[in-house]
Amino acid sequence: MSKEYQNYVNGKWTNAKSKAIRDIRDPGNGELVAAVPECQKEDIALAIDAAREAFDHGPWRKLTAQDRGKILFKIAEGIRAKSKDLAELEVRNCGKPLAEAEFDVADAANCFEFYGGLATKIHGETMQVPANSLSFVLREPIGVCGQIIPWNYPLLMAAWKLAPALAAGNTCVLKPSELTPLTALELGEILMRVELYPGVVNIVTGPGTGAGEELSANSKVDKVAFTGGTVTGRKVMTAATSNLKKISLELGGKNPNIVFANADLEAAIDGALFGAFANQGEVCSAGSRLLVEKSIHKKIVDGMLQKIPKIKLGHGLTSGVKMGPLISAAHREKVESYIKIGIEEGAKLVCGGKRPTGKEFASGNFLEPTIFDHVKPNMRIAREEIFGPVLSVISFETEEEAIRIANDTEYGLAAAVWTRDVNRAIRVVQQIRAGITWVNTYHPTFNELPWGGYKQSGIGRELGLYGIEEYLETKQVNINLDEAPIGWY
């Protein structure tokens, strides 16, 4: 049974002015899950006005940091109280396996809790200056924050954006992806239950064209934070110049996963598959380029092929499923176009590349986990972000060659190194141009540590102490302790 949702604006539930709605369907079976408002510029403008009023004249920014932190703790409790329902809704909305959705929901609660504790740890500094002055630095909220999140981690990305912004004392307008808005809207119900002040958080649904554009360009917005593709990130950055908004961008990646011959090969094989196929490969930090030392190339590829049958495809709510459907039919076609490109470029398709057959797959956007071998670094499948379950295997002979191939990309989000040689691990990690690196593992993310990339993978950082810095202004204060006139004139 489907549910009709409304926007959460100024502490109330509202429809789009046009009354337009969008149907949300389960990518695993095509069933109607919900209907949501299809907002345009005027709806976003109203949400921005509510956030502006709440910041400029409401009580939120005047609260003590301790009181703001307590509210974030309540939000975390609210997420945990609904964790089962939220996880199942996440599966039905974006397709991921239930185990992954359960982890995401738990981590979203942890994120609010982390920033709830951090709210009281925002501090400035005092400085000795060459004058009789009490001089110090204050950290203050930026103001109204427009936040645009993607479809692959709906609730978790909402937490990554909202939690640090609220801890810092800002007000927010959150726009989830038009494809996966449901758990973000359910979060609105939690905010209402904890009696968050009206206008502090506003959640509006709608497409990037119109809704996202207004949030990026509106002059009443002081900062825009965006997670998504690099092409769209450039558009957001351009729109933000309307009033020189502060921006943070978490964008795409074509991430190298490097395996040396002295690695634990069994662990590396597991890590390669998990890095490439977790969340159907619809992950900005996916290890979509597997760089393998030539002497172990065949062992790694054969080892992956032996384990591929264990990656059970199916609806995310089906027991034992390890990989669900892609987000939409259009996105599956895009991924399939890259598979065709890989074949045409001369890479060897060693598994997958097709839609699975069977009644249980007929109505969903399923695609088999796909591995290309003998990929050259200049091939498009090795350079462009596919954002799906497609892994490109590239051979190298020396450490220097591995580093060169790893860095030969416009992106710089994530990378991993597999080796038992700690000196080599540190040496390689130091030379890789990426913001997130792992040694002998892939994908772990921690609320306590910064997340973000080099080069065209983005600007700024999320999570950790660095994440809250993105939502703070820095103010210099000087108090003259000499009561006499300056005597300049």
Confidence of residue 1 (pLDDT cuts 50, 70, 90): low
**Amino acid code (one letter) for 411:** Y
Q: Using CA atoms, how far apart are residues 407 and 396, in angstroms rounded to an integer?
A: 13
Half-sphere CA count of 146, side-chain side, radius 13 A: 31
pLDDT at 141: 98
> Sign of the CA dihedral 82, 321, 307, 284?
negative
User: Of 207, 214, 228, which is closest to residue 22 (Cα–Cα)?
Assistant: 207
Residue type, 340: K
Please say if 172 is a catalytic residue: no
Round to whole Å and give the CA distance between 361 and 98: 17
Computed over every residue of the chain, the mean pLDDT equals 97
Catalytic: 368? Answer: no
What percent of the chain has pLDDT above 70? 100
At residue 395, does pLDDT exceed 90? yes
**Percentage of the residues of the chain whose pLDDT score is greater than 90:** 98
Q: Report the Cα–Cα distance between both ends of the chain, in Å, rounded.
A: 79
- For 310-320, what is the mean pLDDT? 97
Model confidence at 138, pLDDT cuts 50, 70, 90, reads very high
pLDDT tens per residue, range 23-45 = 999 999 999 999 999 999 999 99
* Averaged pLDDT, 444-458: 97
- Give yes or no for residue 111 having a pLDDT over 70: yes
- Mean pLDDT throughout 371-400? 98
Pairing of strands 144-148, 133-141: unpaired
The angle at the Cα of 12, spanning 9 to 17, to the nearest 5 degrees, equals 60
In this predicted structure, what is the pLDDT of residue 483? 86
485: confidence class by pLDDT, cuts 50, 70, 90: confident
CA nearest neighbour of 200 among 72, 86, 328 = 72
Q: Is the pLDDT of residue 316 over 80?
A: yes
Average the pLDDT over 130-141 and give the result. Answer: 96
Kindly report, residue by residue over 77-101, the tens digit of the pLDDT.
999 999 999 999 999 999 999 999 9
pLDDT at 303 over 70: yes
Query: Rounded to whole angstroms, how far apart are CA atoms 280 and 312?
Result: 11
Average pLDDT on 150-179 reads 98
pLDDT confidence of residue 243: 92
d(C-alpha 329, C-alpha 232), whole Å = 20
Using pLDDT thresholds of 50, 70 and 90, give the confidence band for residue 486. Answer: confident
Which residue out of 111, 145, 172, 284 is catalytically annotated?
Answer: 284
Task: Considering the candidates 250, 282, 368, 470, report the single residue annotated as catalytic.
Answer: 250
* Exposure string for 326-354, b = 16+ CB within 10 A, e = fewer: bbbeebbeebbebbeebeeeebeebbbbe
pLDDT in tens, 47-56: 999 999 999 9
What is the 3-state secondary structure of the chain?
A: CCEECCEEECCEEECCCCCCEEEEECCCCCCEEEEEECCCHHHHHHHHHHHHHHHHHCCHHHCCHHHHHHHHHHHHHHHHHCHHHHHHHHHHHHCCCHHHHHHHHHHHHHHHHHHHHHHHHCCCEEECCCCCEEEEEEEEECCEEEEECCCCCHHHHHHHHHHHHHHCCCEEEEECCCCCCHHHHHHHHHHHHCCCCCCCEEECCCCHHHHHHHHHHCCCCCEEEEECCHHHHHHHHHHHHHCCCEEEEECCCCCEEEECCCCCHHHHHHHHHHHHHHHHHCCCCCCCEEEEEHHHHHHHHHHHHHHHHHCCECCCCCCCCCECCCCCHHHHHHHHHHHHHHHHHCCEEEECCCCCCCHHHCCCCCCCCEEEECCCCCCHHHCCCCCCCEEEEEEECCHHHHHHHHHCCCEECEEEEECCCHHHHHHHHHHCCCCEEEECCCCCCCCCCCECCEECCEECCECHHHHHHCCEEEEEEEEECCCCCCCCC
Q: Read off the tokens for 289.
A: 């380029």
Give residue-wise pLDDT tens across range 230-260: 999 999 999 999 899 999 999 999 999 999 9
* Amino acid 471: pLDDT: 98
